[in-house]
Structure 1
Amino acid sequence: MRKFAVILACAVLCLFVGTALAEEVVKIGHTVSLTGGASMWGQSEKRALEMLIEKLNAEGGVLGKKIVLVSYDNRNDAVEAVNVARRLVEDGVVAVIGPAQSGNAIASAPILEKAQVPMVVTTATNPYVTLDKKTEKIRPFAFRPCFIDPFQGTVAARFAFRDLKAKTASILYDVGSDYGQWLAKYFEEAFAKEGGQVVAKEAFRTDELDYRAQLGKMKELNPDVIFIPTSQKEAAMAAKQARDLGIKAVLLGTDNWGSPDLIELGGSAIDGGFFVNLTDLADPDIQDFVAEYRQKFGEDPVLPNPVMAQDALLLIVDSIKRANSFEGPKVAEAMANTVGLKVTSGTLTIDPTTHDPLDKPAVIQKVDVTNNAFPFHMKFYPQDVK
């Protein structure tokens, strides 16, 4: 009997200690591509988050609790992203960082919304990440620290027409990608509004890497620029094939271009191209972050994802503090009323009517193959393209 009592007491004590320890941590989810073609950004995101969490925990965590990052690989796949969202809800996370890709974020949003878990994406720029496409109403638990595609497409068109002096443009895009489809649309509309003409708009299907037929049609029309809103792999292949066909147009891309693979795969064919990005290594606002990342990991961060991931985490932590709560609805309400928050990229103010950031700039970077770099070219603020 005494032995049973001792065992029971130990069990109760273990249960009590386990519960107490569980209450001392707060879980923040991270849905990210850690394998596959987008993994270089995903791995950099995860490193940057772990680096920041280490600092935040050294300062006391949030509301007295240690922050624990729960990361799962969504493999840059919408179905897997939904599975990851469900796992994170089951794990009891108070908020989720990511996904980075718009299609994955749009697929994940309903799961997290039903569970009332705030989602702060990193680089998912499609408007329908924070806006329900069926109802056109704001998603109450979806937020982002990055600009959105209408702005990115407008910046690209404005830069092409006014700075590159392009009068004609062609578009090569992935018809199976929400990202590519919408950016193609926004660029076309903005370029026409500027006074330019899109003379060809050619599509390909996801995973296709031979674009000679599409590019051949463009060559006959001799466009001044070719807009390619794709990832670095497709852009590099398109650049090589375009130059092989004798196309001289300036190549113009989007924030998915910003990877060392672009130069490695595209070589001299991609040299002199330009692309829109959220930030770059020369941005004065992120120099402390870049230096810290280099010192800790011995390499440059793969921008812009790690910067946006840290912005997302800082938004979550600040909102928890202002809400004085870990409850999803209260945290989301605080997020929607964020004004002038100091984050890694600078400052962040959330528009409560859209859950998108106000005054988030875009940079133009040039592809410099000789120096294996993407030097800063110029910056656009929202007021510059209104």
Structure 2
Amino acid sequence: MRKTVVLVFLVVIMTFTLFGQEVIKIGMNFELTGPVSGYGQMSRDGVMLANKLKPTVNIGGKEIKVEVVAVDNKSDKAESANAIRRLIDHEKVVAVIGPATSSAALAAASIAEERQIPMVVNTATNPLVAQNKKYVFRTCFEDTLQGALLATFAWEELGAQNVAIMVDVAQDYVVGLANYFEKAFEQFGGTYFTEFYTTGDQDFTAQLTDALSKNPDAIFMPGYYAEIALISKQARDLGFTGPMFAGDGADAPELIQIGGEYVEGLSYTTYFHEDAELSPATKPFVEAYQEEYNRRADAFGALAYDAYMVIVNAIESAQSTDPVKIRDALAQTRDFPGVAGTITYPQGSGNPIKPAVINMVENGQFVFRTVIKPRM
């Protein structure tokens, strides 16, 4: 009986009254400062647009305001854990969106699971983020799938048979994605070798000199945009003329700002491009994003937008602000029209099965190239 009273009390305080209006809080745990702040800022913009377009939820015929609360995890694992605790304990959120990166998401996921608060990540692709967890969901694909899609692209589209892989040993996402690529690429009959660095490194001459001595057909960079841009520049300066490709960590305007002409022709996997026909919801989102921010919509914002929308859809489906009921409704999500593709969570999994968009840098712009579908 006591547990029931406590649960009811918690649900009541999560839906509180501000100046006479009931408010439901959804948290944002994003990398708003630090080395990958570009990801967090794009993600935040996507959530804010979603909240503007869908500012209320209907529960029992009553429209209740949704307030989004952002906490900066500073692109740091420990700060990510602190951020989600603050959102849960002090802000009394009913759900959390983010983090955008796998390392930060891994630090937050166990806390969300322990506190039984739904957490929907937009672009944290490491499989461990949601593995064996009931309360963690994604709006993106996971790295086992992304690695396989990248291997398909390298073998079939680039014609690469021997690939040099540049691995940032400090990032869980990078190490994991490299491993999944390697396993899938081997199945095609491809060969590869790895060169290692650490986040923040600026000089990759030694690794690239060694790599180029082994005559790779292509260079794969499953890292983040700052290092990808520098590696690309130094590889070209050393005379490499073959194709270079990357994972979704390349998908930030800073890639082009840092890399300039040296990232021309770079291809990478991502989840979204406004020219890709992914869903009936894509075009209205693209138009609303352009009007709101006066720039092209990006993948991080699109997936964060979807994370917000799938949460409020679950709240309305559950007709409740109880986080446990919201979690159950999320798990039952089927054919939700996300702007970055339809979202269905397979039974017992928070990982949607989705295709990958392949973009290319062309004339200083991210240009849609193709869509690579999973081999089912």
Q: Which of 180, 183, 198 is the aligned partner of 1:189?
A: 183
Secondary structure, in 3 states, of the residue corresponding to 2:54?
A: helix
- What stretches of structure 2 of length at least 5 have no aligned partner? 1-15
* 1:207-247 residue CA offsets vs partner (Å, 9 max, x unmatched): 11211111111111110011101111101100111111112
Corresponding residue for 2:147?
A: 153
Say whether 1:366 aligns with 2:365.
Answer: no
Any idea what SS the aligned residue of 1:293 has? helix
Deviations 1:254-313 (A, max 9, x none): 111112222222222221121111111212342221221111122223x21111111111
Name whichever of 20-29 and 222-231 sits farther off. Answer: 20-29
Q: Distance in 1 between matches of 2:301 and 2:20?
A: 28
Q: CA deviation at 1:140?
A: 1.0
Question: 1:87 offset after TM fit, Å?
Answer: 0.2
How far did 1:160 drift? 0.8
Give ranges in structure 1 of 5+ residues lacking alignment.
1-17, 132-137
Q: CA deviation at 1:55?
A: 2.2
Match of 1:274 in 2: 267
Matched letter for residue 66 of structure 1 = K
User: What TM-score comes out, normalization by structure 1 length?
Assistant: 0.88
The answer to whether the 8 Å contact 1:222/1:247 transfers is no
Structure 1 residues 1-386: aligned runs within 5 Å:
19=17, 21=19, 24-57=22-55, 60-63=56-59, 64-90=63-89, 91-131=91-131, 138-198=132-192, 200-284=193-277, 285=279, 286-301=282-297, 303-358=298-353, 360-368=354-362, 370=363, 372-382=364-374, 385-386=375-376
Other structure's SS at 2:167 match: strand
Residue 152 of structure 2 aligns to a residue whose secondary structure is helix
Q: More displaced, 19-28 or 202-211?
A: 19-28
Of 36-45 and 94-103, the range deviating more from structure 2: 36-45
Q: Is the 8 Å Cα contact of residues 49 and 305 (structure 2) preserved in structure 1?
A: no
Larger strand share, 1 or 2? 2
CA contact (8 A) 2:24 2:64 kept: yes
Residue by residue over 1:5-24, the C-alpha shift from the partner in whole angstroms, topping out at 9 and shown as x without a partner, is xxxxxxxxxxxxx8575771
Deviations 1:134-191 (A, max 9, x none): xxxx201100110010111111111111111111111001001001101110111111
**In the alignment, which residue of structure 2 is the partner of 1:7?**
none
Q: Deviation at 1:341? A: 1.2
* Structure 2 match to 1:11: none
- CA distance in structure 1 between the aligned counterparts of 2:285 and 2:368, rounded to whole angstroms: 17
In terms of Rg, which structure is larger?
1
Distance 2:41 2:171 in 1: 22
Distance in 2, Cα, partners of 1:68 & 1:125: 27
1:241–1:319 distance in 2 versus 1, CA, 3 Å: same
Runs (4+) off by over 4 Å: 18-23
- Quick one: distance in 2 between partners of 1:27 and 1:329? 15
**How big is the shift at 1:196?**
0.8
The secondary structure found in structure 1 opposite 2:68 is strand
Q: Distance in 2 between matches of 1:62 and 1:346?
A: 24
Q: Using the alignment, how far apart are the partners of 2:333 and 2:44 within structure 1?
A: 24
Identity percentage of aligned residues: 36
Paired residue type of 1:189: K
Counterparts of 1:278 and 1:151 in 2: how far apart (Å)?
A: 12
